[in-house]
Amino acid sequence: MMYTSKLPSKWKGTCQEGQDFNSSLCNSKLIGARYFNKVNSARDTEGHGTHTSSTAAGNYVDGASFFGYANGVARGMAPRARVAMYKVIFEEGRYASDVLAGMDQAVADGGSFVLASWIPNDYTATVGTNMLLSSQGFNLISGTSMACPHASGVAALLKGTHPEWSHAAIRSAMMTTANELDVGRNFTAASPLAMGAGHMVPNKAMDPGLVYDAAPQDYVSLLCSMNFTRNQIMTITRSNDYNCANSSLDLNYPSFVAFYDKNVTTGAMLKHRFRRVVTNVGGGAATYKVKVAPPEGVKVAVWPQSLVFGKKYEQRDYYVEIVYPSDGNGLVSYGSIVWIEESGKHIVRSPIVVSPTSAGK
């Protein structure tokens, strides 16, 4: 696939020269490169950054194979997307200041999505299963590092399909249309703590029916409720346009987590109430009815039990009350809330997790 030489008008980045890397290495696909220590370059010496970026946005490559096996066309999740690299991890180590500086610069340069994927080594921990097959001469690694570029690529595709959607709406579409069944467990439901909302289904995410949206002020209200100071919030937002007038821990997120202190009296009944707002991004008027699969030993009430939308982009709110027992053994239990359109076209699923404040400890 060919690109025009003209770069996106919003792009303000650069191709920074350094050790074994000159500006001629950038092109209409790799449009920018920067590094964030004093003595190196943006050159990928480990191959990890190249691997993850090509997974997210690699162009079409004919005749790709693994030593003759699986011959065909290889491509990334969003092959038309352009790539800018920001190297923040070096052999000397990894520093939070470099990572944050790289993210800040990516935003300032006009990047749409930031793919933060770390090398699984002594400096970082991965979630998932790592299999080292050194006797056969290669490393097969799965986990956050491999999942991140897939999710980023799907997010880029959704942004291209729905440029009017916010990042929160895109995240919601990916989560609420995910498949929670785990093939490795004979198609039984896997834990949300093992696979989040589930395995992404990109085609369904393009038309999720409903989304849980959030604006910058919603995140600021969350930070306020976590006792961040004004100066700390300013460090994140770089703006005075936000306030703490309505601080709340209840972010409009497409899942529900009810925590308990496992040190309190076992069996003590606890109650947590949530408010959520959903936006109709379907074709027009629609009615949804709720189906609840409560975690074991937990009562979940949802009201209203039906949501009626007259047109596209209309919003409706609903409430969830979870009544659950404290468990001295630190039990974690799971369930879900599913909004089902009357026509059956859209199914919008949100996980429920009831967990001790320090699961597994």
pTM: 0.84
Q: How far is the C-alpha of 191 from the C-alpha of 198, rounded, in Å? A: 9
Q: How far is the C-alpha of 67 from the C-alpha of 250, rounded, in Å? A: 51
Most confident of 2-11, 224-233, 323-332: 224-233
Q: Give the pLDDT score at 360.
A: 41
Q: Give the pLDDT score at 264.
A: 72
Q: Give the pLDDT score at 118.
A: 60
Q: How far is the C-alpha of 298 from the C-alpha of 23, rounded, in Å? A: 59
Q: Give the pLDDT score at 122.
A: 41
Length of the chain: 361
Give tens-digit pLDDT for 336-348: 999 999 999 999 9
Give tens-digit pLDDT for 129-186: 333 333 344 445 556 778 889 999 999 999 999 999 999 999 999 999 999 876 655 6
Give tens-digit pLDDT for 37-76: 877 888 888 888 888 899 999 999 999 998 989 899 999 9
Q: Where are the domains of the chain?
A: 23-160, 163-214+252-356
Between 139 and 251, whose confidence is greater? 251
Q: Is the pLDDT of residue 233 over 70?
A: yes
Name the average pLDDT for the chain.
85
- Which CATH number is 23-160 given? 3.40.50.200
Q: Give the pLDDT score at 130.
A: 32
- Which CATH number is 163-214+252-356 given? 2.60.40.2310
User: Cβ(157)–Cβ(77) under 8 Å?
Assistant: yes
